A and B are shown apart, each in its own frame.
Chain A
Amino acid sequence: MLQLLAQNVLNALQLGSVYALIALGYTMVYGILTMINFAHGDIFMVGCYLSLAAAAFLLGWQANLPLPLVFTAALLFSMVLTALLGVTIERLAYRPLRQAPRVSAVITALGVGLFLENFTLAILGPEPRQFPSLIAMTPWEVAGLTVTPLQILIVLLAGALMVLLDLLVRRTLLGMAMRAISYNRPIVPLMGVPVDRVISITFAIGSAIAAAGGLLYGLAYPVLDPYMGIRIGWWAFIAAVVGGIGNIRGAMLGGYLLGIVEVFTPVFLPSSTYRDFVAFSLLLLLLVFKPTGLLGRPVFERV
């Protein structure tokens, strides 16, 4: 019984890491622009496909590259290209709406997300793609638990990225600029902070982290389809809201919580098809009782 619990916690940790990585993108953009970037789930999907393309290309090469090298190359490739995608989207679709009502930006984000999904679908066709296995899947038996090297890698890499991001936001000048913009947008440009550049960088970082999440997700659940970003994206979004949107540590906490919800739903309810119901009900309940999320600060509207 305890073993089963520990095994499930381990699985939840693996899934939660991916959710947390994607939730970070939602929360960073919200923190800095107070805008829900509904296209983020689809940016994750594109990152996933990009790393698949890189991995398939390198494996198809006759050179017999060592797998860790392929993994690193695919990771870097998809992170860089997805970061570019994020910046491009911000530049073309969101920046012209900076002064427009906030609702316009949100609708644009929904449109961009649908565009990415359907564009991918139109080029690649609806057949799901298989992600090649890059990391050894041979399970280890540790104290009666089944642990795969992949699980360790996912949890560690996601953890490392989160620590790095946290340090970036709290300890560097760039992070200070980000926090300043989220604290008071109108005043910050007067202090000589290049707001547009900081926003671009925020999108780049958020998208790159989502791409890393995409590769890790692809390795753990190796079937990709163009609509995968919808479900994962919404879940990561819930994670961001549950943790307190705009709060980076909150997004991490929310991600792991959502991982637990997803893994433990089939344990307590008859089928895993209830997971959406459980997750969104949880979100609603939380919003009723603690509208700012677990770690969020209350916001006062100035008149």
Chain B
Amino acid sequence: MATSDKGKSLLICLGAVLLLALSWALPASGFLNPYIVQVLMYVGINMILTMALNLVNGYMGEFSVGHAGFMAIGAYVSSIITVAVLPRELAPWLFPLVLVMGGLAAAAAGLIVAYPSFRTRGDYLAIVTLAFNMIVKSVLENLEILGGPRGYLGMPRLTNLVWVTAWVLITLLILRNLIYSNFGRGIMAIREDEVAANLTSVDTRRVKIIAFLISAFFTGIAGGLFAHVLQFINPRSFSILKSTDMLVMVYLGGVGSLAGSLLGAAIFTVLLEVLRPLGLWRWVLGPLLLVLLMIFRPRGIMGLREWRWLQPVLAFGGGGQGPTAPGPPPA
């Protein structure tokens, strides 16, 4: 088993390197036109957002509806750093650091949200995250230094496909390792039965807060990437509608599945681009899709299942029946 494990890891590493090389070579050689590159970058950013939200809503079975607030904080903090703090010529080199700062700021905000809201269960987190989303938007609209409702601009276009691909891979790696760690089992135990998890010595409150912070962190990173693609952000881009988009991607792809998050984000983003000619009606189709999905396939495409190469080799006899195999639905 050990050799095949090593072989698999090597293969995955090679795949990642190939992907990074392609994401540099394809746009640079002019093989992909800028529009497609742009769409691919959005796909990648949405993948990060979806994986991060899936950690809370899918793996942990809690319900956050305000992740756009964390995205806003990541976007604004990283933008302020690149525009007002860093000298122009240094910015491209320090970009990863800038993104991490944005992510940390989002995580700090996540702590403020998580601390009071994980005292009880149920719809509490939904209400608190919702309020948080509204407050962030309202504050940004009232901060004249940041352009208020008109938005903030002047960021150089630092995000490119390589950075997006790299961050998708980093997020995937970290979340995957987290989920299959002891800590990750604690997260899933909370989803299945919080009281029982507590009895089997999972420090549920601590696990919930840390998982939420990790989720907020990656959402903030995605926000930073987003701001440096668009080079212009305004509070309206981070309204509750954005949070709903993220929810659609999570539940389209499937709860409790990283593979599902990747698929859900890709399908949703590409679908919205393809349907662009429909104009306003495309915003009718999205919610309708969500409702039909919840009724007829509530677990999404990959709900509680995982691609084999994302699972550890030794997990329950080599994949298939991984630890995320169907259990009782989250309550």
Cross-chain contact B290 with A107 (CB below 8 angstroms): yes
Give A276 to B69 CA distance when docked, in angstroms: 14
Contacts of A287 on B, CB cut-off 8 Å?
A: 116-117, 124, 127-128, 131
Cross-chain contact B137 with A115 (CB below 8 angstroms): no
The tally of residues in A whose CB lies under 8 Å from a CB in B reads 41
Cross-chain contact A97 with B295 (CB below 8 angstroms): yes
A143 contacts partner chain B, Cβ-Cβ < 8 Å:
no
Interface residues of B: mostly helix, strand, loop or mixed? Answer: helix
Contacts of B290 on A, CB cut-off 8 Å?
A: 107-108, 110-111, 114
Of the listed residues B126, B134, B241, B251, the one surrounded by the most CB atoms of chain A closer than 10 A to its CB is B134
Cross-chain contact B240 with A230 (CB below 8 angstroms): yes
Taking the nearest CB of chain A, how far is it from the CB of B60, in angstroms?
11
The tally of residues in B whose CB lies under 8 Å from a CB in A reads 46
Contacts of B139 on A, CB cut-off 8 Å?
A: 277
If A111-B291, A280-B135 touch, whether A274 touches B142 (CB-CB below 8 Å) is yes
Give A271 to B288 CA distance when docked, in angstroms: 37
B294 contacts partner chain A, Cβ-Cβ < 8 Å:
yes
**In the complex, per-residue mask of A13-25: 1 if CB is within 8 Å of any chain B CB, else 0:** 0000000000000
Contacts of B57 on A, CB cut-off 8 Å?
A: 103
B330 contacts partner chain A, Cβ-Cβ < 8 Å:
yes
Interface residues of B (CB under 8 A from A): 57, 61, 63, 65, 116-117, 119-121, 123-124, 126-128, 130-132, 134-135, 137-139, 141-142, 195, 240-241, 244, 247-248, 251, 280-281, 283-284, 286-288, 290-291, 294-295, 298, 329-331
Interface residues of A (CB under 8 A from B): 36, 93, 96-97, 100-108, 110-115, 118-119, 121-122, 230, 234, 238, 241, 271, 273-274, 276-277, 280-281, 283-284, 287-288, 291, 301, 303
A sample of 26 inter-chain contacts (CB < 8 A) reads A36-B123, A103-B330, A106-B126, A107-B247, A107-B251, A108-B290, A108-B294, A113-B287, A114-B283, A115-B287, A118-B280, A118-B283, A118-B286, A118-B287, A122-B280, A271-B142, A276-B134, A276-B138, A277-B135, A280-B132, A283-B131, A284-B131, A291-B120, A291-B124, A301-B121, A303-B195
